[in-house]
Amino acid sequence: MEKPIVVSGIRPTGYLHLGNYFGAVRNFIRMQNDYTCYFFIADIHSLTTHPTPTNLQAGVKQVLAEYLACGIDPEKSTIFIQSDVPEVTELYTLLNMNAYLGELERTTSFKDKARKNPDNVNAGLLTYPVLMAADIIIHKAQFVPVGKDQEQNLEMARKFAARFNRMYNNELFPIPRPFTFDGKDMIKVPGLDGSGKMGKSEGNAINLCEDPKSIRKKVMRAVTDLGPTEPNSKKAEPVENLFTLMKIVSAPETVAHFESLYNSCEIRYGDMKKQLAEDIISYTDPIRNKINDILADTDYLTKVARMGAERARESAAKTLSEVKSLIGIKSLF
Ligand code: TYM
């Protein structure tokens, strides 16, 4: 039986953090045996924020090395760099003809970014979900492992895929679905600064390559409150976030232990943070140690990128030619 197809990507805007890892990469690793996987580095998407050429190149290498250090196996999965597959941007152009200003303007992430950076509301930002749809459907993906923050972008990809099928009276594209390994809701890894998600631009991230000392320092500084004064009281957001993070990285018994201390008003946040920091370190330690070795091996990185590009292009070119033929784009020679 054919394995279901999976596509997902990460922008190379710096180091991978715990949000990227638990929202995406951990699922990539778990999926690679049972699915046909395409995991890429979304360098074109990252251009919406105008990185310098040096930072862009460094970011691409870093994410590639981090993918590999986390355990994504280039023999099992196709790992590639988005810009190495020009078929993607060609499909993006074609899909743009059926993507409407109103729906693009209504996307939450577009509105958020336009509000935060009013001087850089570029067309790439507006059509970001279209490029993302092209990434996904060019390999006819059935599943997309992403964190909760990408839910709406994925919804748009589903819409564009279905629209194309309808317009051309075809079933070329499967309608891609979000994927979470345990069938639970998509995950949102909170930041340690009291509210919201962990993110690079939020400045509240713990990176995979961070050294243990720095992890301990960041976790110990996490925002909490004065502690519960009544048994079984509702947790304020910063404390809830700390527990959410603990549920993600720690053993269930550890979480239960601190839940019970919280409920009996005996919790000492300092103890909880110490435990949380150690549990984070046990995840990141083996990865951190590998990242620098892999980064130093330029030949290996080149080999992986080349192999990935070849495989991804083969799959992408096939779909693109089907798309063109359905649309009626046909060369006269
Ligand atoms: P990006 O680069 O912002 O994030 C990469 C992945 O990490 C997840 N993530 C999180 N998950 C849970 N909690 C968090 N705090 C957290 N922070 C980040 C994201 O959900 C994502 O899965 N548009 C995408 C990249 C992309 C893509 C695609 C993804 C481009 N094309 C096609 C899937 C399929 C992005 O900017 O992710």
CA of 148 to the centre of ligand 1 (A): 9
Q: Each residue's pLDDT tens digit in the chain (333 positions)?
A: 799 999 999 999 999 999 999 999 999 999 999 999 999 999 999 999 999 999 999 999 999 999 999 999 999 999 999 999 999 999 999 999 999 999 999 999 999 999 999 999 999 999 999 999 999 999 999 999 999 999 999 999 999 999 999 999 999 999 999 998 777 889 999 999 887 899 987 889 999 999 999 999 999 999 999 999 999 999 999 999 999 999 999 999 999 999 999 999 999 999 999 999 999 999 999 999 899 999 999 999 999 999 999 999 999 999 999 999 999 999 999
Separation of alpha carbons 310 and 245, rounded Å: 38
Question: pLDDT tens across 186-196, in order?
Answer: 999 999 988 78
The CA distances from residue 64 to 40, 95, 189, 297, in Å, are 9, 28, 22, 12
Rounded to the nearest 5 degrees, what angle is found at the Cα of 190, between the Cα atoms of 31 and 33? 5
pTM to 2 decimals?
A: 0.96
Residue nearest to atom 9 of ligand 1 (CA): 20
CA of 230 to the centre of ligand 1 (A): 39
Go through the domains of the chain in sequence order and give each one's CATH number. 5-186+298-327 (3.40.50.620), 212-292 (1.10.240.10)
> What local confidence, expressed as pLDDT, does residue 185 receive?
85
Cα-based torsion angle of the residue sequence 188, 15, 77, 279 in order, rounded to the nearest 10 degrees:
-60
Question: pLDDT tens across 222-249, in order?
Answer: 999 999 999 999 999 999 999 999 999 9
200 catalytic, yes or no? yes
> What local confidence, expressed as pLDDT, does residue 184 receive?
80
Which residues does a 6 A CB cutoff place in the pocket of ligand 1? 7-11, 19-20, 23-24, 42, 45, 132, 135-136, 144, 146-150, 153, 187-189, 197-199
CA of 151 to the centre of ligand 1 (A): 10
Packing angle between helix 151-167 and helix 128-137, nearest 10 degrees?
A: 70
CA of 233 to the centre of ligand 1 (A): 34
76, 148, 200, 274: which is the annotated catalytic residue? 200
> What local confidence, expressed as pLDDT, does residue 145 receive?
96
For the record, the structure tokens of 209 come out as 């390559």
Separation of alpha carbons 181 and 201, rounded Å: 27
Q: Which atom of ligand 1 is nearest to the CA of 186?
A: 12
197 catalytic, yes or no? yes
